[in-house]
Structure 1
């Protein structure tokens, strides 16, 4: 049984629901769902959503009954670790964890701080600046690009690929859906080919970046294949990009909207 609590599905449900006029304040809708429909099937997206803590915990923890595998997912992200069950999920996670140990992340801290300072320096002294354009948009893609070991000249293309992979059709028409799928499929093909080239370079000349660590990592004598590395790299690009931009931007928005909490 596949049970998902997908952000985009919930967003669409919220926008189509009784709180459509106040999508930026979804909490009353979530409260009503917890009370009136704690387990709900979304016909449009063909997914189940669960809203109560105990139910979510059971879905996540009971691997004998619930599965992360979604057979309809054929995208690069869909083929990544988030769409796997044990034991393969456990094996890949064990390898991937080698690239994200506290020691490895600590080594990156000075460089991330340096990138942050450089971006802030660019708008120091200005009376106005665009937080998203000047800071929260470029920061995560620069960091992820360097973490993965991707040459900096590819940063803009990286960002374009990432944004497209998390986008949705411009409307619900069949034409818009078809155009969107064609564009996303092309994006995934280009990104897969790009990562395949980078991975091959790292196999021949490893460095201290995340892809090099993953290429060299072994768990019980088994290396990650290119077919497994590419989806993970794509996942890392997307998951760490948009989410960080939104976190920084929304955090600042919340602070400015509630000045009484500023100390």
Structure 2
């Protein structure tokens, strides 16, 4: 069987996806007893049919069990309603001037050199600082946030039962205690003196007279800190990769800047930042002539679904004018990503600033890029590029 988790395949998993999807859209991997779904309709069903596919993949004893993404209704309904009241469209839109300022400030640090590591110098710090400021955390705490986020993401690339997994779990437990104290202190400050920030809205939000518990607040903080910047980081990196690999599309985008939102949607489809999501079958599920038994771990392969030729014409072609483009990069159904509008906004502003101030994008090395560690995401850990400042 193809090793989907090797660095070589993770840089370009799409030929492997096509091979496996063509052989069978539902595949059972007996060694790990994992079921993988590769086609668009199957993945979409696994994501939205919460009666058949549960999102509770973390055991109750796990520290991640408080995360919204690992909850089912009715608990999920309550938690999502609380977060939606805090994560309003008005709050997201109000971040636009700050995202502009941060994008320019980050680029100011490297533009005269004519080279940078796009990930370390731009794509990681931009969404991380935005999320820290949304939460009302001091800017000086950004390095701590980056460390915490790296430890959280490390949970996604270790094999359960291995020594490495045990080490990562110990690191995560230690970091969780650090974050618990940090959130407790910050939340206490907001209760005493509310501010116009996300944390204040989370502390004050109520649904049916209930507010978030300390554990739920910590779970939100961990989820927002990791997923809240990881998706945008990969979206920005993948966008530059796509445009460098397809110079004719970059030329068209420069000629027609109004295509940028459409280009971002195509990046989301063509190089989906999140490649897979876990589910667990509640009961036996029949899918494409196969029966997945109850209680089995299912991996819904979003990256494969978004290249399914039965859904997307010329699916392996990168086309910034693609219309329609019903990708499921941000999920589907009740678990559709709450942060999708923010991620799109950050990508639109960040890429517009790069395109405005920089020309001649090219990779600084012929060496294959190193994939980001977590196996369920897609994008480079580092992306050294060279360029010229625009006139």
Q: TM-score range by the shorter chain?
A: 0.7 to 0.9
After superposition, residues 175-190 of structure 1 pair within 5 angstroms as 175-190=163-178
Select which of 46, 56, 76 maps to 1:59.
46
Is this contact kept in 2: 1:76–1:230, CA < 8 A? no
Select which of 77, 82, 86 maps to 1:99.
86
CA deviation profile, 1:141-184 (whole Å, cap 9, x unmatched)? 11111011111221101101101111256899943333222222
Correspondence for 2:66: 79
Correspondence for 1:14: 4
CA deviation profile, 1:125-153 (whole Å, cap 9, x unmatched)? 33323322221121111111101111122
CA deviation profile, 1:78-106 (whole Å, cap 9, x unmatched)? 32111111111111111111122221111
Q: Aligned with 2:54: secondary structure?
A: coil
Structure 1 residues not aligned, in runs of 5+ = 1-11
Select which of 108, 127, 136 maps to 2:114.
127
Is this contact kept in 1: 2:86–2:198, CA < 8 A? yes
Correspondence for 2:245: 257
Q: Aligned with 1:77: secondary structure?
A: helix
Structure 2 residues not aligned, in runs of 5+ = 252-391
Q: TM-score, normalised by structure 1?
A: 0.84
Is this contact kept in 1: 2:99–2:130, CA < 8 A? yes
Instruction: Report the number of matched residues.
Output: 249
Correspondence for 1:69: 56
Is this contact kept in 1: 2:9–2:16, CA < 8 A? no
Structure 1 pair 154–27 and aligned structure 2 pair: CA distance change class (3 A): same
Is this contact kept in 1: 2:55–2:71, CA < 8 A? yes
Select which of 202, 205, 208 maps to 2:190.
202
Structure 1 pair 171–79 and aligned structure 2 pair: CA distance change class (3 A): closer
Displacement of 1:242: 2.1
Displacement of 1:56: 2.2
Which of 191-200 and 168-177 deviates more? 168-177
Correspondence for 1:7: none
Q: Which has the higher contact order (CA 8 A, sep 6+)?
A: 2
Within 2, Cα distance between the matches of 1:188 and 1:134?
Answer: 27
Within 1, Cα distance between the matches of 2:82 and 2:49?
Answer: 23
Runs of 4 or more above 3 Å deviation? 20-23, 41-47, 73-78, 168-175
Correspondence for 2:302: none
Report the structure, 1 or 2, having the larger strand content. Answer: 2
Correspondence for 2:12: 25
Displacement of 1:42: 4.0
Correspondence for 2:289: none
Within 1, Cα distance between the matches of 2:185 and 2:63?
Answer: 16
